[in-house]
Amino acid sequence: MDVLQSVDNTSNYTTNAKGGTTPPIAIIEKVYTQTKNSSLNVDTVSYGDSVFINCNYSGLLQGSKIITQFRLLGLNDEWKKTKSKHFAFSSLQPGKYYFQYRVKSEMSYWSNSKPFSFIVARPFWAKSSFVVLLFSIIIFFFAIVFCQLLRRQHISDLISLNHKYEMSVMKSRLLHSMMSPHFIFNMLNSIHYYVSVNNSNEAESNLTLFSNLIRKNLEVSQSKYISIDEEIIFLEMYLSVEKKRKDNAFTYQINHSVDIDTSTCMIPSLMIQPIAENSILHGILPKDGNIKIDFIKHDSHLEVVICDNGVGYDSKKTGSSLHNGLSLKVIKERLSLMKDYYGFAFNIKFSNLYENQGNIPGTRVSIDLPFVN
């Protein structure tokens, strides 16, 4: 039965078999809880609090037999007989309740029972605001855990990438420190030739250049990054040795943008010399030619361009020697790993210099690098 409908029904009087007289008056004297010592003004009761109700009656003749009943709509709709005038209700669930108390004698109607209503409030953990807060905390907690897992995975990936990058650098160092056996053999043959013809000046000059290049080569191979100044010095030494060894069969130029601070701007080591070597061995020789190396500053990156006027680019022939082919492969591997590790688009591109003039194509190699100070 609906609570409000039950309350409305309490206004109906009933009579006993002997006929009705004026009914007594039922009185709700006091309502209070464990936390509120109030009288008839308790409207909201905290969850878990107990409700106490004191009742009484008046208007009965002395010696009359009294019958009293009560009910708590919202808990139970049935009237219950009682001799008590004091009622206690505990462990009530959240909701609205109507307490009714009535009295009668054997010769009277039931007294008109006006309900006393009160509300048991929801516990804090059942309120929508708390539920939202709880879910927010749970979501926040899982978000933190998820971020931590992502962070650990990211760190693990970076460590893995770093290990791969270190291995790539070690490969470059190993290849670079070995140098080309043909280069060393030919350089020693040149020195031996000048010694055999008693040209001690040329022999000494070649030996000095060669020893300086070997020493600089070892220095460069110990660093991941070197300044553009150091790279230019190393390239000058290498190209001058190769030019002398090839009887001045080619010329070269090394240039850089005027707004580049070559002493502080760093680039990955062991990257440019193998490409220059490839230009000499597979581009311009055996005919005379020219190699040009430019360090060009852009808004967001540094571009290193190596050009020659040789036979042009052929992906099947570029780096055809075992040593040089491995060097170019390691360079591409290092650039790919650095792209993942640093989040910068490291690129290397081989192309024909004069693509619209197939007779004299030449080769252009472009490397994009970030600015590192």
pTM score: 0.52
* pLDDT score recorded for residue 206: 76
Are residues 102 and 151 located together in one domain of the fold?
A: no
Are residues 25 and 110 located together in one domain of the fold?
A: yes
Are residues 200 and 301 located together in one domain of the fold?
A: yes
Contact 169, 331 (CB under 8 A): no
**Cα dist from 178 to 173, 295, 325, whole Å:** 8, 27, 14
Contact 308, 251 (CB under 8 A): no
Are residues 42 and 118 located together in one domain of the fold?
A: yes
Is residue 232 in a domain? yes
Q: List pLDDT tens digits, range 311-339.
A: 777 654 554 444 455 667 777 777 776 77
Are residues 184 and 108 located together in one domain of the fold?
A: no
Are residues 33 and 97 located together in one domain of the fold?
A: yes
Contact 227, 221 (CB under 8 A): no
Is residue 135 in a domain? no
Q: List pLDDT tens digits, range 264-299.
A: 998 888 788 888 888 887 778 666 788 999 999 988
Instruction: Give the chain's domain count.
Output: 2
Are residues 25 and 107 located together in one domain of the fold?
A: yes
Instruction: Please tell me the distance from the alpha carbon of residue 363 to that of residue 280, in angstroms, as a whole number.
Output: 11
Which stretch of DSSP H or E encloses residue 208?
A: helix 200-220
Number of neighbouring beta carbons within 10 Å of residue 265:
20
Are residues 358 and 252 located together in one domain of the fold?
A: yes
- Which structural domain range is residue 186 located in? 147-369
Are residues 248 and 289 located together in one domain of the fold?
A: yes
Are residues 9 and 157 located together in one domain of the fold?
A: no
Domain boundary among 91, 123, 155: 123
Task: Beginning with the edge strand found earlier in the chain, give each strand of the sheet holding 289-297 in spatial order.
Answer: 250-256, 289-297, 302-308, 363-369, 347-352
Determine the average pLDDT of the residues in 186-207: 73
Ramachandran bin of 248, using left for φ above 0, alpha for ψ from -120 to 50, beta for the remaining angles:
left
> In the chain, how many H helices and how many E strands?
7, 15
